[in-house]
Structure 1
């Protein structure tokens, strides 16, 4: 009888120890799983943060199909334009040569270069090419009308792409300019498309557009 009791007692002790060991192992597995899950969540959050940071950084850069035509280096490059006031910067960019000629004809170079914190919706050469030659020559010959048109392309404040999503701005000419869009797709006055946006100069943000705006 005593031998049987000892065997039962020993078996019970072994069983108790075994259950305790299993509980300890399960707790360790749960802890490891929790740590792995937490680490996975942190990694996913870090990944999301990196994505947001990359998106924000991307929107700080010029964007649009026409940006490919801007020189990679020199005074007319994005880096070069950022060093000069807007009229001077535009004069170094071959995609804006017609606009520069018009600004010079209207005697607005000093006005634009000395302005503080402005945004320019700058018509590319192709935008002017879309105007019948007779009409364009008549515009260039009428300094008062030319000044009205050109100052209508300049608005107060430096406006990033996010400001263009549903924007309404007062132009130097006095009338309102409106913008709509998102991402890298924006229109001005429901007519002109931004083809190279967020170009920085020393005193202005430039959004190059594919049509000439008429007040």
Structure 2
């Protein structure tokens, strides 16, 4: 049987193709150098859409035109009122808000950066996207209060661009509280 001699250039090319194929197959496309390995691929809005307890919040975000902002890179921390929190508002409150008022209320629930439950101090002020401060207090037995009246019911819901903390009350910025919209 006669052996076929492969020219050295073709041999080199085939070796490079084989090495490249092994390299690409061995790479893990799900991880990156951003430190988000293990986090979900869903952004804050998509994560909220996946959770039935946030359907009113998702609709409010859409109505206020804030979807694109909360889909941005972030990171953000969202103190997300549950449907029950919205339902606890006096009847007709959401419907009576202007888009500008709704935007202000929602921006008051968002903090730029990540505020994970493990990073909380006993008491700290964090600036909301509205520019007003939120008082976050970590009390005994893992209880966390926002502005003294809204409890975090579920902490550290991860999203690709931040963290969501479910809260049991809608937070109202000073301008909205002073306007007595809820009353």
TM over 0.5: yes
1:33-56 deviation line (CA, Å, top 9, x unaligned): xxxxxxxxxxxxxxxxxxxxxxxx
Moved more, 98-107 or 160-169: 160-169
Match of 2:87 in 1: 129
Matched, 1:197 2:155: yes
1:163 Cα deviation (Å)?
3.2
Matched, 1:144 2:96: no
1:156 Cα deviation (Å)?
1.5
Give me the whole-angstrom Cα distance separating, in 2, the residues matched to 1:145 and 1:82.
31
Q: Paired residue for 1:173, among 130, 153, 161?
A: 130
1:99-132 deviation line (CA, Å, top 9, x unaligned): 0000000011111011411100000000000011
1:143 Cα deviation (Å)?
0.4
Give me the whole-angstrom Cα distance separating, in 2, the residues matched to 1:152 and 1:191.
15
Give me the whole-angstrom Cα distance separating, in 1, the residues matched to 2:111 and 2:117.
14
Q: Which has the higher contact order (CA 8 A, sep 6+)?
A: 2
Q: Paired residue for 1:212, among 160, 167, 170?
A: 170
1:170 Cα deviation (Å)?
0.7
Distance 1:184 1:82, change over 3 A: farther
Give me the whole-angstrom Cα distance separating, in 2, the residues matched to 1:133 and 1:115.
35
Give me the whole-angstrom Cα distance separating, in 2, the residues matched to 1:101 and 1:176.
25
For structure 2, list consecutive stretches of 5 or more residues without a partner in the other structure: 1-38, 174-183
Identify the structure with the greater helix proportion: 1
SS of equivalent residue, structure 2 residue 92: helix
For structure 1, list consecutive stretches of 5 or more residues without a partner in the other structure: 1-80
Q: Paired residue for 1:106, among 31, 54, 64?
A: 64
1:136 Cα deviation (Å)?
2.0
Moved more, 95-104 or 175-184: 175-184
SS of equivalent residue, structure 1 residue 146: helix
1:190 Cα deviation (Å)?
0.2
Relative to the length of structure 2, the TM-score reads 0.69
Q: If you compute each CA radius of gyration, which structure gives the higher value, 1 or 2?
A: 1
Give me the whole-angstrom Cα distance separating, in 1, the residues matched to 2:134 and 2:157.
19
CA-atom RMSD, angstroms? 1.6
